Amino acid sequence: MPVDRDLAGSGSRGDDPHPNGCERQRQLGWKFYDADDYHPKENKEKMVKGMPLNDEDRLPWLCTLQEILMREKSFGENMILACSSLKRMYRRILTGEQSTINADTESCTEQNQEQAQLGCNKDILFVYLHGSIELITKRLESRKGHFMSPSLLQSQFDTLEPPEGTENFIDISIEKSIPEIVAEIEKDLGENL
């Protein structure tokens, strides 16, 4: 029986929610989206040069991701979004709890308001994957073909606001194996799987 919920990965990019998300997607049969596929060209160019993104860079990207979440929710689809939603504000934009202020993202503001009215923020579970900077650095250095420079990892740790309090999340160490991580997520989702 499908569960009416979406999963969004959270943590530094080096935590690499992509392989974890792919494995969850295979086991759950849910749609999978890698947020990195939706970065504008300018963002990718900055990251290749080792320049960290700021909030202004990320807002259009977050709005695109929020549109995907809203669309899939409107179709009643379960999905996984691998995304380094580093700040609470970013997660609030994704869930529709916070509107953007930038005039260039006005459509996102309207969609966020619609999303909040649907109460979808409770339907998104953030899976906060975390690990030591040493472990994540090692993984980043062994990864080939990704546009993010490993030199950006420290800036991601500096930006990171781990989920807390009333946010809908579970906290999982990346020192666990992928099957252990998936099992923990399935356990949290409960009997509806």
pLDDT in tens, 12-56: 444 444 455 566 556 677 888 999 899 999 999 998 888 999 999
User: What pTM value is reported for the model?
Assistant: 0.77
Does the pLDDT value for residue 101 go beyond 70?
A: no
Instruction: Fill in the DSSP letter of residue 53.
Output: P
Q: What percent of the chain has pLDDT over 90?
A: 31
Q: In what order do the strands lie in the sheet with 79-82?
A: 31-34, 79-82, 6-10, 124-130, 169-173
Q: Which residue did the predictor score with more confidence, 119 or 172?
A: 172
If pLDDT is split at 50, 70 and 90, which confidence band does 57 have? very high
Show the CA angle centred on residue 99, arms to residues 160 and 148, nearest 5°: 35
Q: CA-to-CA distance for 158 and 22, rounded, in angstroms?
A: 27
Return mean pLDDT, the chain.
77
Summarize the confidence of residues 81-107 as an average pLDDT. 77
The 10s digit of each residue's pLDDT in 143-158 is 666 667 777 888 889 9
